[in-house]
Chain A
Amino acid sequence: MATHAQSLPQAAISAEHLIRRFGNFTAVNDVSFRVEKGEIFGFLGPNGSGKTTVIKMLTGLLPLSSGSALVEGLDVRTDSESVRERIGYMSQNFSLYYDLTVAENLQFYGRIYSLEPARLKRRIDEIVQLNGLAPYLNRLAAQLSGGWKQRLALGCAMLHEPKLLFLDEPTAGIDPVARRQLWDLLFELSGHGITFFVTTHYMDEAERCSHVAYIYYGKLIADGTPDSLRELPDVQPQGTLRIEITTPEVTRALRFARHLPGIRSATIFGQSIHALVEDHFNLDDLRNQLLKNGIAVAEIRPLAPSLEDVFVELTYKHQALLEAARA
């Protein structure tokens, strides 16, 4: 493993066998992954699955129980001081001083990183322009809306020009326009070679990432580009096909479809049903059977699995493995 890692170009993050225990509880259980430079790495998982714990381990906020992690080529256990110089971190609750103005918040975080006055001024100007904060410079942070708080927090986290930014749920509680604008900004910065480690709940955000990983109760159960995950045999087993059935009567259709031989699984997605069927399954036959039962069908077509499908399938499989191990 070590020789293999050396042959690759240096990663932004390379985590190997990360374990973090709190008493008897293992919050992060043998997690390994690599984030290449310039990637937007989406780190997904349900609440309490260990996402924030992994971020805290990588940023030096929590010691590792075991395992190792290199961040920007530096060991977080022995060199956390230097790691902190090179990374930026934006936490879930936008860690701003509410009784300071926008400009004072920026100045404070700049001084903490010991930027010389000339560089600090240049960086503040750049960030104010990039984030559009100019009209709010003298406003107290407390008076900003959620979206602007988030931009200010992001600005504070990147004053010292880190090459790697950790964003923990950056879009939680933010309106859709601000969400879209943040992602546009991330793409732009990523184009300049900055690496992003982003946790999120939103599947559409996951689809935008160049690399995603899914953590489920402390275990990493998916890791790769969105496209490579869609092609995983666990998601798309040999000899199966994913279809979308559009119908005005989704609930009745689902109840019916679940009992048909050849349909492995089915779930409702808005006005349609996503189903995994065996590839010898006759789609015309399905349409006829539904019609015969008085269910109108607008369309039946083959479908590429979404990332949500991917994570649902992988979660089922992981749960089955866990139960098998217990039995």
Chain B
Amino acid sequence: MLNIFRGFGAVFYKEALHVRRDAGTLFFSLTMPLLQMFLLGFGVDTNIRQVNTVVYNADGRRESRELIDRLKNSDTFHIFRYVENDHDLNDLIIAGKARVGIKIPVDYSDRLLHQMSAQVLVLIDGSDSSVAGQAINVTTAIGLDESLRRVVKDRAAFAVDMRPKLLFNPDSRSPNFFLPGLTAIMLLNVTTFLTAFSIVREKERGTLEQLFVTPVRPYGLLLGKLLPYLGIGFFELCLILFFMRFVFRVPIHGSVFLLAILALPYLFAALSLGILISSKANSQAEAMQLAFLPILPSVFFSGYIFPRETMPVIFKPISYMIPATYFINITRGVILRGAGIAHLWTDGLALFVIGTVLLILAARRFQNKVIMA
């Protein structure tokens, strides 16, 4: 046995026993992420559809009814009420019952029939920027299309025809976008929480002090504590992938095997972070609070919710220090874009480096026994 890893086997076996004895905690930590997955997978749809819309049609003739039908057919608007005056239109928007209010003026059809420019008022609640943006885009597009149809009778004469095509997620399904990223966050949750207690529990019990008078070495102790949880994290990954593929029907375009291999350095980094947290904490309650710390930056700075491209410059370096940043790139790469090892090896390497640095920091705390002071 290599001397700097002395005690590894004994600690590994003991940790495995701890895990087995505490089956409740294990079950809880394995199922919590799946619950999160079901909530987000079924409950969250980021595509903006069926926005509550109120219409005041002061004109009421055929041209105006055609316009309303086109708005309905766009799938963006759900017209739930027709009102008869401006006051009711405004009121419904202020009350938050309608996000969009459309007013077709009394002379709409007349002006169109006389080849004049007709106006339609679109009131949009700007308090949710993505809903507002979508409403502006769709109404503008419909208006443009209506105008073109009246000006150019023959549609083949369009000068420029833009044909956008969505790659990798052609249906714009939310689970396809959410779940690969969520995988990274969930694995981080499970692993940091499991290991966050592993050292501090021994500190509280006094067994850590006992271990320090035995010939066990810091790396033997830390790796012995880390590896059983690597197995659990890996099992969790398999569960998540299984549910993602067969329940949420997210197609996996790349190699599952590659994803599994690249998950190992990510789990290693997350577990080392948990161990470091555990070595800083003096009580299990403190460890619990510290274990929450990495979650928020991992959600906000990793590109999971907000694209990293739009991040303020000062947060960019932070995003590079967060393991989830790399693993989200890996999961989205393999699952959605079918990326291979040639595209992703740098992310794997970065994770391995982060994990090693965190483990060395934790081991130094043991070597110098600062942990006991």
A residues engaging B (CB < 8 A)?
59-63, 81, 84-85, 87, 89, 91-100, 104, 108-109, 111-114
Contacts and interface: CB of A to CB of B under 8 A. Distances in A.
B214 A109 contact: yes
B213 A59 contact: yes
B318 interface: no
Classify the secondary structure of A's interface with B.
loop
Contacts of B7: 111-112
A268 B198 CA distance: 51
B62 interface: no
Nearest to A153: B210
A112 B213 CA distance: 11
Contacts of B17: 99-100, 104
Given A91-B206, A95-B206, A95-B207, A111 B13 contact: yes
A93 B209 CA distance: 11
B337 interface: no
Given A112-B7, A114-B6, A97 B14 contact: yes
A61 B214 contact: no
Contacts, number: 67
B9 A111 contact: yes
A285 to B, nearest CB: 57
B275 to A, nearest CB: 18
Top 6 closest pairs, chain A to chain B, by CB: A111-B10, A95-B210, A89-B213, A99-B21, A93-B206, A95-B207
Interface string B1-32: 10000110111011001100110000000000
Given A84-B215, A114-B215, A108 B21 contact: no
B209 A112 contact: no
A85 B215 contact: yes
Given A97-B18, A99-B22, A100-B14, A112 B214 contact: yes
A61 B372 contact: yes
Given A59-B213, A91-B209, 17 more contacts: A60-B213, A61-B213, A61-B369, A84-B215, A87-B213, A94-B206, A95-B205, A95-B210, A96-B207, A97-B18, A99-B22, A100-B14, A104-B14, A104-B17, A112-B7, A112-B214, A114-B6
A264 B372 CA distance: 47
B14 A84 contact: no
B6 A89 contact: no
Interface of B: 1, 6-7, 9-11, 13-14, 17-18, 21-22, 205-207, 209-216, 369, 372
The SS class assigned to the B binding surface is helix
A104 B216 CA distance: 17
A81 B10 contact: no
Given A61-B372, A108-B13, A114 B1 contact: yes
Contacts of A96: 207
Contacts of B369: 61-63
B19 to A, nearest CB: 10
Nearest to B220: A112
B205 A112 contact: no
Contacts of A100: 14, 17-18, 21
B213 A98 contact: no
A59 B213 CA distance: 6
Contacts of B205: 93, 95, 97-98
A98 B18 CA distance: 10
A96 to B, nearest CB: 7
Contacts of B213: 59-61, 84, 87, 89
Nearest to A87: B213
A84 B206 CA distance: 17
A61 B212 contact: yes
B293 to A, nearest CB: 27
B354 to A, nearest CB: 30
A114 B3 CA distance: 11
A202 B262 CA distance: 60
Contacts of A81: 215
A84 B212 CA distance: 9
A89 B14 contact: no
Nearest to B14: A108
B21 A112 contact: no
8 contacts: A63-B369, A84-B214, A97-B205, A104-B14, A111-B7, A112-B10, A113-B215, A114-B215
B152 to A, nearest CB: 79
A116 to B, nearest CB: 12
Nearest to A97: B207
A112 to B, nearest CB: 5
Nearest to A84: B215
Contacts of B211: 112
A78 to B, nearest CB: 15
A87 B212 CA distance: 12
Contacts of B209: 61, 91, 95
Contacts of B372: 61-62
A60 B9 CA distance: 23
Contacts of A59: 213
A113 B207 contact: no
Nearest to B18: A99
A109 B13 CA distance: 12
A89 B17 CA distance: 24
A160 to B, nearest CB: 8
A104 B9 CA distance: 14
B21 to A, nearest CB: 4
Contacts of A62: 369, 372
A59 B21 CA distance: 32
A108 B10 contact: yes
Contacts of B210: 89, 91, 95
